[in-house]
Each structure stands twice: as C-alpha cells, then as structure tokens.
Amino acid sequence: MKLSDLITTAPITIQCHDNPDADALGAGYALYTYLRLKGCDTRLIYSGHFQIQKTNLVAMIDLLNIPIEYTKMTKVNGLLITIDCQYGAGNVTLIEADDVAIIDHHQIEITNVEKSEICSFLGSCSTLVWQMFLDTGFEVNEFPLIATALYYGLFTDTSQFAELYHPLDKDMRDHLHIDESIIKRLKNSNLSLAEIEIAGLALIRYTYNEVYRFSLIKARPCDPNILGLISDMMLQVDTVNTCVVYSELTNGIKLSVRSCVKEIKASELATYLTEEIGSGGGHLEKAGGFINQKLFEKSYPGLSSEAYFLNRLDSYHKSYDIVDAGTYVMDTFDMPLYQKLPIPIGYVETMKLLPPHTPAIVRTLEGDIDITASENVYIMIGIDGEVYPIQKDKFERSYERLSSGFVLDDAQYFPSIKNKLTGETLLLKDHVQSCLARGKVQIYAKPLTRVTKVFTAWDKSKYMYGAIGDYIAVRSDDPHDIYIIKGDIFLKTYGVV
C-alpha cells in the first residue's frame, strides 16, 4: 500500500491503539500532518478505558503540539486508518467505518483488510511511516516537530535504541533532524516512583542458572524502558553473562535481553526466544522482543511464561558449537570440493569512497560491519545483499573485474556505508561494480547439522551464525579462512568440482 492510496475527499480518522505509546503518537501525528498537507479532512484519535496519563506522553503531546483526541465513538464516516495496530485486534477499540486501512509493524493478526501495510521486521511504526514518506518524496526534515516525534517513537519502542536491529530503523535515526532540547526533556520525564518500585521488586525475585550463568526476571506490567533498566542492572552482577527480563501485558509478553559475552549475541538470543511466536532483535549486547499472546497460547498451551523462558534458555545454551577460525583445524576428508559458479557479484573499493584510514560502518540487512578505509580493503556484495570485507590481494587472486555495475533486483535493503568522522552516508548501489569469480576459487563445504558460531580470521569479536542447513566452508588455499554461507545462497553460487 502507498500513501497515495489513502488520499480521499471523504473524512479520514487516524486511530492509535488503546492506551497509546510514543510510537503510536509519533507515527499517527506524522501521518496526520501529511494528509492535512494533502488537503484531507483528518482527525487523530484514540479510545479505550483509559486516557493518556504517563508523564512523558503528556509532555510529548504538549511539546510537539500533537492534536490527538480521546473519544468513545463507535462509528465514523469515511476512511479509518489504524496506526501501530490492526483493525479488529484486541488492543484497539473497534470503530465502524465506511473504509478501513492498516499501518503497523507488529505480527500480522488481521488478513482481511485490503489496504494494509504491515512490516513486522521494523522496530517501530514510526519507521514504517518514514519509509512510506521516502517512497513518495516527502521530506519530513522540513517539519522538525514531526521528525522529533518519529525519532522519539523509535527511541521508546526500541528501548532507547538498544533493540535497534533493522537497517531502516538505523537509517531513520541517522536521517532525522530533531529538536534535541525536546528529546532531552522527554528522556528526563520517563520514569515515575512507582516504576522504580517495580524495578526494585523485580530485582529481588530473580531466577539464576549456575551452569549457563543466565538470569531470568519477571516484572510487573510497565514501560519497556523499565525492563531495560532492570536488565542493565542485573548484568552488572559478576556471575551473570546473560539476562532476560520480561513483563506480561494484555496482548503478549515484552522482553529485554542482555549479554556481556562475545559467544552470545543478545540480538540472536532475543530472536531465538521469540521464534515463530513474535519478533525480536537488537545489538550484540542489548536486545528485546515481543511475544504475541495468541500465538504463545496456541504453541504452548498450559505452559507458564516462566517455564517457557527457562526451558527455552536451557535449550538455547545446548544448541550450538563454536569454531575459532584462527586456531581450528577443519577436517576436510568428507567435505566435497566446490567452485564458485560464474555469477556476477558486487565489489566496492573503500578508497574510492573514503579518505585513507577513515573509520566507517557498512550497514546491511544482517547488521552493521565496522571497517577502516584502506587501499587493501574491498567490500563484497553477494546476490542476496550479503556483505563481507576482503583483502585486495585475495580479491585479485579470486575475482575478475567486469565493466558493468551491479544490481540487486529483489533485495529488501541495499547496503550503505557511513563515514564515522563526518556522519555522511553513501549508498553503495551508486558505486558498486561487478566481478566474476575466477576458476581457482575453490572451497571445501558441508551442510550444518547443528547451529555453529564461527569467529572468522578477519573478526575475532563477532561470530558468523550458521543455522542448520547453512554451510560451513573453508578455502582450499587457506585452512584458516573458515566461514558460514547461508544455505539458499550456497546452492545458487557454488557447484561441485
């Protein structure tokens, strides 16, 4: 669905979910402003049993001049757009309308509404609205209050950016020109004395696993930021390597995840805990997620949330092997020899983008990669948008340059590179060239039967994650160049010698 599909001469009502949070307010306010600028007769409302009382939300409405109305109406004329929720779902009061549309970033619950834009992979609904603005050419930075509202929506829905994992979320955070003074005010009005009490009570009722050194904590229903506060404090305990703090809400379970060991990415653990029943992600050390109540009850009938998390955490720690490419000797006896197929892939010379020795971040769908621009560092881009650095000498041995550019037709996100010193972001699609693997590029590879985490020779601090069905590979000319290739990518790009 595009924003142009919402333009109408009929009245438009934008409805936030009951008891709206900052993300619903920010996304709703931005959409309201856009539609008003297009000449549409538009209102922004919410309903439910309770009116907004939380200090930071009251301040947000006041400081950003958000024209939201509380209503108990049961029917509206024209088009009703539910924002940060889905029409007919349990967290939003059902209001009859002539026509209905949905803009949301949660798990899909409602499938019978034709006008729908639901992107469950995003960290906030504010990001989704921003992306829709980009698609129409609408520059939100011309409206600082709107930009600030979207920024704060993402900030709160990702636990102060701790649970930021999709590149579009990061792009919006970096793109918006915000009113720093307003954000500072809102940050400093986020906690109440009652919420501090919730944190204190939760911390003294923890569960601890001595074998795997993880802690599990249940908190009373509270703002997601409180869960992050609790998990940050618990992780400071000397015997705790990972921590999960959760709270049961009316429509599901909100969780915060922390890790202080390189063998466990908090983002990966959050994804594991919410697999098939919700969504999760974040950073290496901080992450979070949400479990849909209906999906949880359907998948684990009769199981308490505490029992679920304890069982799942235990199975997670038993589920994987670790490979350190710097010291590990791969037994290639039963591994077939493969050669790259003649399929063009992309490459970028970092020195053609940045001055020498410039620190930079390559932003990809699977996360950010830190590099330093150098004559010897190239960036490779695979057929599905996967990115990895390569040394110039290895590139020259392995690939033949082509004169054409490189295009990703169906990629959800094309990688970009950000200069850490200036903050400037460059789109790699404007600079990438094509290359073809030479016949001498050969690897030994086999499919994984267990989850495997590989610390590669080029990055000792972050592992490559290999799921069952992915391939573990080692170059035939370098026994320590061990890495993971996604199963679907491997089948497209390699053939048996």
Q: For residue 55, what is the enclosing H or E element?
A: helix 55-63
CATH classification for the domain delimited by 193-318, as one of 3.20.20.140, 3.30.950.10, 3.10.310.30, 3.40.1260.10: 3.10.310.30
Measured distance CA(427)–CA(362) in Å, rounded: 10
User: pLDDT value at position 94?
Assistant: 93
Q: What is the DSSP letter of 267?
A: H
Q: Is the pLDDT of residue 224 over 80?
A: no
Helical (H) or strand (E) element with 34: helix 22-37
Distance CA 427, CA 24 (A): 30
Give the separation between CA 201 and CA 214, rounded to whole angstroms. Answer: 19
pLDDT (mean) for 408-429: 85
3-187: CATH topology: inorganic pyrophosphatase (n-terminal core) (3.90.1640)
Asked whether residue 269 carries a pLDDT value surpassing 80, the answer given is yes
Per-residue pLDDT at 393 exceeds 90: yes
Q: Answer whether 289's CB lies under 8 Å from 271's CB.
A: yes
pLDDT of 410 strictly over 80: no
pLDDT at 432: 93
| pLDDT > 90? residue 53 | no
pLDDT digits (tens, 9 = 90+) for 338-367: 998 888 999 999 999 999 999 999 998 877
- Find, among 367, 264, 390, 292, the residue nearest to 86 by Cα: 292
Give residue limits of the domains in the chain.
3-187, 193-318, 337-496
Distance of CA 107 to the CA centre of its chain: 14
User: And the tokens for 63?
Assistant: 């400081």
DSSP letter string over 126-157? HHHHHHHHHHHT--GGGSHHHHHHHHHHHHHH
Is the model's pLDDT at 163 over the cut of 80? no
* Whether residue 111 has pLDDT greater than 90: no
Q: Is the pLDDT of residue 165 over 80?
A: no
> pLDDT grade, residue 61 (50/70/90)?
very high
pLDDT, position 438: 83
Q: 298: how many CB neighbours lie within 10 A of its CB?
A: 10
Residue 461's pLDDT band (boundaries 50, 70, 90)? confident
- Residue tagged 């007769």 (tokens): 41
> What's the confidence (pLDDT) of residue 236?
92
Tokens found for residue 353:
């983008």
| Distance between CA atoms of residues 41 and 490, nearest Å | 52
Give pLDDT, residue 109. Answer: 77
The C-alpha atoms of residue 398 and residue 189 are separated, in whole angstroms, by 56
Q: How far apart are CA 488 and CA 243, in angstroms?
A: 33
pLDDT tens digits along 294-318: 999 999 999 999 999 999 999 999 9
Structure-token match 């129409």, residue found: 136
- What is the structure's pLDDT at 120? 82
d(CA 429, CA 353): 12
Percent over 90 (pLDDT), the chain = 67
DSSP per residue, 68-108: EEE---SB-SSEEEEESS-TTSTTS---B-SEEEEEE-S--
Enumerate long-range contacts of 491-495, CB under 8 Å, 24 or more apart: 492/341, 492/343, 492/383, 493/340, 493/341, 493/343, 493/345, 493/382, 493/383, 494/338, 494/339, 494/340, 494/341, 494/443, 494/445, 495/338, 495/339, 495/341
For residues 237 and 258, the answer to whether their CB atoms sit within 8 Å is no
Amino acid at 330: M
Element (H, E) at 447: strand 442-447
On whether the CB atoms of residues 346 and 434 are closer than 8 A, the answer is: yes
With cut-offs at 50, 70 and 90, classify the pLDDT of residue 337. Answer: very high
Q: Is the pLDDT of residue 258 over 80?
A: yes
3-state DSSP of 347-365: EEEHHHCCCCCCEEEEEEC
Per residue in 4-34, pLDDT (tens digit) is 999 999 999 999 998 899 999 999 999 999 9
- For the chain, the straight-line distance linking the first and the last C-alpha, in angstroms and rounded, comes to 46
Question: Of the segments 161-175, 242-256, 272-286, 400-414, which one has the largest average pLDDT value?
Answer: 242-256
Q: What is the model's pLDDT at position 404?
A: 86
Crossing angle of the two packed helices 125-136 and 22-37, in degrees rounded to 10: 20
Residue in 466, 432, 429 with CA at minimum distance from that of residue 450: 466
pLDDT at position 391 is 93
Average pLDDT, rounded, for the chain:
92
- HSE-up of residue 453 (Cα within 13 Å, Cβ side): 18
Q: What is the pLDDT of residue 427?
A: 87
Q: How many residues does the chain have?
A: 497
Q: What is the mean pLDDT of residues 220-235?
A: 87
Structural contact between residues 234 and 203, judged by C-beta atoms closer than 8 angstroms: yes
The residue that leads in pLDDT, 386 or 98, is 98
Cβ atoms within 10 Å of 100's Cβ, excluding its own? 21
pLDDT band at 458 (very low <50, low <70, confident <90, very high): confident
Cβ neighbors of 239 (< 8 A, separation 6 or more) are 208, 210, 213
> In terms of Cα–Cα distance, which of 273, 281, 277 is closest to 313?
273
**What's the whole-number mean pLDDT along residues 193-212?**
92
